[in-house]
């Protein structure tokens, strides 16, 4: 089966960005006079909430506060998130966050094979632009036929809305496309849109349930760090490329297999 489009998540999938996000959140808290500090274990738990603003609201809701104080802090979320985004994009501009192993190779291979590229994520357009430009050059965003950021749909991951939105703009059926994710929320969103889904977990997500994934790999593989063992056996090679993905699509059972919508909404 011909692969028509590859749809990628951003945070954790294109690059392991979460530590940079965590540090940016903490610096934003300091700038706004808040004594909050998200530790690595605390942030790992907060990652179950998709979207930075939603994450902030979930954290505020977890604090033992009077209703008036909670409401006041909730009103500060846009300003807090704006500061955090500025800090995060500034950190990316230094080039300190690199793409995960095999990502640049696969993007280049898809472009050469006529496979369209798309993004489906809960993060902001500014974050996407900063990550792509710092790794692939100023015009990197133009490599993608569709960029679906978190603000274009009402329901965040694990709802499938961002993938369905992206598929509509690609004009392609899900059967001819592949999604790449790193988290259980992302997997559920992609499978909710009936996409063949590859998961490449990070240390933030590796303990999550990926039983619904079509493939779970430690990375996409590269000449420097090829896939080995069971991972290589799954795809019949040492790197996940267009040929390997088309073989996987051809072997996929026909018909929708995972159609469960979530009621999670943006506040």
Quote the CA–CA distance of 199 and 187 in Å, as a whole number. 7
| Catalytic (active site) residue 11 | yes
- End-to-end C-alpha distance for the chain, whole angstroms: 40
| Catalytic (active site) residue 161 | no
Sequence-separated (6 or more) residues with CB below 8 Å from residue 168: none
- In the chain, what are the helix, strand and coil shares in percent, each to the nearest 5? 50, 10, 45
Quote the CA–CA distance of 229 and 143 in Å, as a whole number. 33
Sequence-separated (6 or more) residues with CB below 8 Å from residue 89: 126, 127, 130
CA distances 189 to 159, 233, 249, Å, are 5, 27, 19
- Omega before 245 cis (within 30°)? no
Q: Which residues pair with 197 in a beta bridge?
A: 179
Specify the length of the chain in residues. 267
The active-site residue, picked from 11, 101, 194, 214, is: 11
The active-site residue, picked from 9, 182, 194, 214, is: 9
Positions marked active-site: 9, 11
């Amino acid at each position: 089966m011909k692969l028509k489009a590859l749809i990628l998540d951003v945070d954790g999938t294109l690059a392991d960005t979460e530590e940079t996000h965590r540090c940016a959140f903490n610096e934003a808290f300091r700038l706004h006079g808040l004594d909050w500090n998200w530790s690595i274990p605390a942030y790992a738990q907060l990652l179950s909430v998709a979207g930075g603003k939603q994450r902030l609201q979930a954290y505020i809701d977890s604090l033992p506060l009077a209703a008036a104080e909670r409401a006041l802090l909730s009103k500060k979320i846009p300003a807090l998130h704006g500061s955090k985004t500025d800090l995060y994009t500034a950190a990316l501009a230094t080039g300190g966050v690199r793409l995960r192993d095999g990502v640049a190779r696969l993007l280049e291979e898809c472009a050469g094979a006529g496979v369209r590229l798309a993004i489906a994520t809960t993060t902001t357009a500014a974050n996407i632009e900063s990550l792509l430009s710092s790794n692939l050059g100023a015009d990197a965003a133009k490599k993608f036929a569709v960029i679906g950021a978190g603000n274009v749909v009402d329901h965040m991951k694990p709802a499938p809305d961002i993938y369905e939105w992206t598929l509509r703009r690609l004009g392609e059926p899900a059967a001819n496309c592949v999604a790449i994710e790193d988290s259980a929320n992302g997997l559920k969103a992609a499978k909710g849109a009936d996409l063949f889904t590859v998961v490449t977990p990070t240390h933030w997500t590796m303990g999550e349930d990926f039983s619904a994934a079509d493939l779970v790999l430690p990375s996409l593989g590269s000449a420097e760090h090829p896939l080995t063992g069971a991972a290589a056996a799954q795809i019949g090679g040492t790197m996940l490329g267009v040929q390997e993905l088309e073989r996987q699509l051809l072997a996929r059972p026909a018909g929708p297999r995972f159609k469960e919508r979530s009621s999670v909404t943006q506040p």
